[in-house]
Amino acid sequence: MNELLTVMSAEMSINRFHDEPDDSFIYRLCYSALGQWCLHTAQNSSDSIVGTTKHNQTIILNELMSRYCEFFPAVSDRLIDTSNHQLNLAVHIRRVYEETGYLLTDANNRNRLANFGRSIQLCGTSLFFGIPSTVYTVNGLGVFASSTKYLISAREFLIRDNLSQEEFLQSQFDVIDFYDRDLNLDELEFFNPCSNKAPSQSWEKRMKTDRSVARKSEFGPYYRVIRIKDDSFLFADEPTEPQSDNFTSYEYRRLYFALKANYNEPLRANVIELDAEYSLVTVGGRLPNREYYYLLLLSWPVKNAFDKISFLLRNNFVLDVTAALTNIGIEVKEGYSNA
């Protein structure tokens, strides 16, 4: 088993951080290895057909995960979400690659590797969408190699507009879009952007600011709200759609982050440098899927494979992650570990 771990570590260029426990290091190797297997299966060729079925990818990854859990029992809890048996890591990894452009699904519902030489330039390396023919390294689920001619920006990858956080908020609260509505205020809850709690826990019976979001229940309907007088409000429908693992899901969180930043109580993310190579990023709330998937390509979720709050990444990616989080109104604080 030690030989297997040594080979995995060398081939993906994944090192331990300072005083990293065995179960943490082994979990990161297994997590990234599952991602590599997922991508490599999409290079298969059979009867002149390139790619593989989604079902086959899921079966292979599930079998590998079972073997990893058998070889390394201490990491099994990190690869399987015991609190939600509906979550399957094999499907999750495949969906991340499908949504971020690593895998292309053809008309026959087969996945092929999107090896077009597309990359995002980062500090000292680039995030490569595919498997390059040259030497490469792995971080989280992402593949990293030297820069290519076909470069895109992180903003292009995230499919983000060029609006600043303030401009975005202004576009969402243009008074021309708001109307007087016959709503019973006692039936509504209001998002309080001044709360120091996570956005999901920041709903109150009274509106505390001049601009906010209201809801009748957690399941909707939702409204953007402008206060024009002490007891007079204007409303605009805030569309609610079923959220999923699509790249553009949970986008409504951007509005909450922008409101919090506007009222000087921004959602915060802390970056703690663990050693000369690695840092820990902890976000005060869950991200829109765009930024969440971006982090999964640059880092490892810490507590388990489904952790959406804490991420371990290399120090040379901190500036890129900070830029992505700041762009949607999150305040990033940097510090150092006492280790």
Residue 338 has what pLDDT?
56
Residue 1 has what pLDDT?
76
pTM > 0.75: yes or no: yes
Residue identified by tokens 């429908």 is 237
**Comparison of pLDDT for 49 and 91, the residue scoring more:** 91
Burial of 202 (0-12, 13-18, 19+ CB in 10 A): buried
Nearest C-alpha neighbor of 281 from the set 249, 325, 245: 325
Residue identified by tokens 């999750």 is 92
Q: Return all residues near 104 (Cβ < 8 A) that are at least 6 apart.
A: 111, 112, 113, 114
Would you place residue 315 in the very low, low, confident or very high pLDDT band (cuts 50, 70, 90)?
A: very high
Residue 265 has what pLDDT?
97
Would you place residue 178 in the very low, low, confident or very high pLDDT band (cuts 50, 70, 90)?
A: very high
Query: What is the dihedral sign for C-alpha 224, 163, 333, 299?
Result: positive
Length in residues, the chain: 339
- Tens of pLDDT, residue by residue over 184-230, are 999 999 999 999 999 999 999 999 999 999 999 999 999 999 999 87
Indicate the average pLDDT of the chain: 94
3-state helix, strand, coil split of the chain in percent (to 5) is 35, 25, 40
Residue 321 has what pLDDT?
97
Residue 337 has what pLDDT?
67
Q: At what angle do helices 2-12 and 22-41 cross, to 10 degrees?
A: 60
The SS3 assignment for 157 reads helix
**What are the sequence ranges of the domains in the chain?**
2-152, 165-246, 263-336
- Tens of pLDDT, residue by residue over 53-88, are 999 999 999 999 999 999 999 999 999 877 777 789
DSSP label at residue 131 = -
Residue identified by tokens 């992505």 is 324
**Other beta carbons within 10 Å of 212:** 25
Residue 212 has what pLDDT?
98
Type of residue numbered 218: E
Rounded-to-integer distance, Cα 206 and Cα 3, Å: 61
What does each C-alpha distance from 63 to 6, 91, 114, 196, 258 come to in angstroms?
21, 12, 24, 43, 43
Mean pLDDT of 154-174: 95
Rounded-to-integer distance, Cα 332 and Cα 141, Å: 23
Is domain 263-336 classified as CATH 3.40.1350? Answer: no
